[in-house]
Structure 1
Amino acid sequence: MSVGLELPPGVRAERVITAVLADLHSGAHRGVVVDSPPGAGKSTLVVRAAIELAAAGEPLIIIAQTNEQVDDLIDRLARDAPELRIGRLSAGTYTPSERVARYSTVRVAAKVAELDGPAIIIGTAAKWATVTEGSWPWAIVDEAYQMRSDALLRVAGRFDRALFVGDPGQLDPFSTVETERWTGLTWDPMQSAVATLLRHNPQLPVHRLPVSWRLPASAAPVVAEAFYPFTGFQAGTTAAQRALSFDAAGEGSPADEAVELAAATGWALYELPARHTVRTDTEAAKACADLALRALRRGAVATSEREPQGAPVTADRIAIGAAHRDQVAAIRAQLGDAGVGITVDTANRLQGREYDLTIVLHPLSGRRDATAFHLESGRLCVLASRHRHGCVVVARAGIGELLDAYPSTEPVRLNVPVKFPDGWAANQAVLDHLHRRRVAGSPG
């Protein structure tokens, strides 16, 4: 193992990808699973595998979870393989985005028969569930840990073999209806597609991408320890390759201190005074908005392996993440017109996205209790792993005490696989790191 760790990150990543492609071409397995940490190149692997299978004369389908993911994959496939004919399976009301419409090799239709036999057909899992005819030698399931097992069951008859690619540390599938009646069953529909697949087919090969090309050297060890304790990964870049600086001097305020600390160390905890609040904590929402605007107004510049001379951190390269939609609305209201272009969204909608600087409203900030929703490790993992340079976490003091006092009251159920990491432990690990980079925030 030590020899592998001494290899350059690119070499380690390429070895795993080569092994994945070898398993695909061998035809020895009906399924191949690839686990990936944040920013490890899931989409790159999906595109590369799809192009290789299509080049070998193997028609295939790609199943993604959202229309945004579908359009992103089409854009990348069409750029990397201009000669490849691609079908975009969509609803009849779908209007092609600019990323799709600009390629003459992409055809959009509501039915498979209307796509005129392309080499690759891409659609969402929900759309594929409506297809009742046709079969393909191969399928690639993107973001497979976001896919519910019942959704996989509805499309499994459409392909012979499949590649499943996803991030096991991200948010699990969710439902707005009660699902306790299925808990513990091997076919529980609320399990991820990968979890159910491996419970019934434990012999399938599982590969793990070992490098995150998104997270900086300051973040990869923190995220790996908290959310990927048994697999781990390393950053693809060194501390010397990434830097965040400001063109304009600050005013010496706590907000300035926080963004400067995040720029210097990769992390900062902007801690407001302890207080139990309603979910839409106005002071916390204002703090999130102020931090993002402060970085924008001071002319943040990001230096990286992509931009060694430095590139301005524009509004579209800054994101603010929260747990609830009403918190998102409160933050947007605080930003006003000055925040046009800054992304503000929930953890669920930020999955798969990447920014230079992120501001995170901690899910447990100001709460009296620690519910399973707010303790879910995947939620904090998404929020803490979107950045390439720095992350500022906004929270009220007292989260550590809340975690220490929180008794686990979740019922223990038979036949339910133990999920790692535990949300309580993951939150404690992240908080321990943040406390060493704490700035006393101003409630005003």
Structure 2
Amino acid sequence: MSAASERAAAAEGEQLARTLAVLRETSDRPLSFVTAGAFAALDEGGSEPLAADAESGTVIPANGLVLLYGDGGAGKTTLVLDMLVHLASGEPWLELVMPARPLRICLVENEGPRQLFRKKLARKLAKWPRAAETIRVLEEPWQGVSFRDEAQRDEFVEFVTAQKIDLLVAAPIARLGMQGGGTLDEVAEFADLVADVQRRAPGLAAMLVHHPNRAGQVSGAWEGFPDTTMHVQASGHGRTRILWQKLRWSSLLHGKTTHLLWADGESFTVDEREAVTASTMVDEILAAVLESPGASWTKLRPRVRGNETEKAAVRDRLIADGLLVNQTAREGQFRLWHADDPAATRSELRTGLERLPFPTPEREAAAVPVPPFQRSIGTVERERHGRPGSLVADCLICDHPFSVDDGSPAMRCRACVALTADLVTEREADQMRLLERLRVREALRGAA
């Protein structure tokens, strides 16, 4: 066995011994139960949040865990530094996160060139001098910290206790001792290493910075561990958005999205966009339909803000309430008209569905005072079809010739009628036109 393998085996043995020691210690404690009233009445120390939302919901709990993750280039480092100088100065961050007091922060940056991080931090502290004294930054060993190292965990406990640190910020998880691809057991093991420091330094909160997987979600089975999970995403040049993915103790921010604009001094401002609600979706759908009557949902959807599932639900409710008219007979497809549009003729059932998909020839003829051009074939006997005669007309949409049975006037060929009603695809319509041309050719031959 190599020396490296021996050291790894020894480290695993030491970790197992510590885990067994903790289990023995906790197993010696007898189970104790109290009434719910007695449990809730106890004012236990450390319950006050280090930072809260605008309604006093907890964002960073004492002894809690915050997970912030995002793509490279999304502005994670800039955003974290901006948040930290506000918290360290006792100032609200974007009116979203309010510290209970100026927080004492320990920052561990475990990747990237140290000299570049020095310059970035210096630029930030130039405008936040108070934070220069309340933030402690790990200088050595640069890129050499691991929570898996028991000696380093002991040093963390000694330092944060002596300096009365409130918040330990460390990045990135992949360089802090996390092993494996992030299975539940692997995440639980690493989280327990961080929790070991927190257990021995009462009140210490931890913020870990991570990266997403290829699907855009947090890498690894982290969902159940943090009290707060923030997803930082790039949103185009000069823009960043935060999805407050999970806030166990804050209903105000939980599940919300905050859009940020980049500002001077490597800072951010909130993009004060109008909140997207069901009411705004109704207004925008109706406005889009008035602007583009008869358009498909595919064309209308990008003009409406909001979640795609919620937009579809609002659309369906407008159809059911008769405010929109859907002029397609094929299930799952849409040709939408505003109910006040005179062209949006409803079916007799008044279901809010489309106009009759195949208007009668009389209705079409009445709509256009000038009759379409028709070429008479004369009386063509077609016994096998049971039709006494036929006329040929040119479609006013595709200009293809088509036969009009029994001399009834018509404007559109069967293919265009079916395509307008969303009953066929473009390819199927072309096939119908080809068959129609063959039919006309056969009729002309018979007339000759």
The verdict on a shared fold, with TM-score over 0.5 as the criterion, is no
- Whose Rg is larger? 2
Larger RCO (CA within 8 A; separation ≥ 6): 1
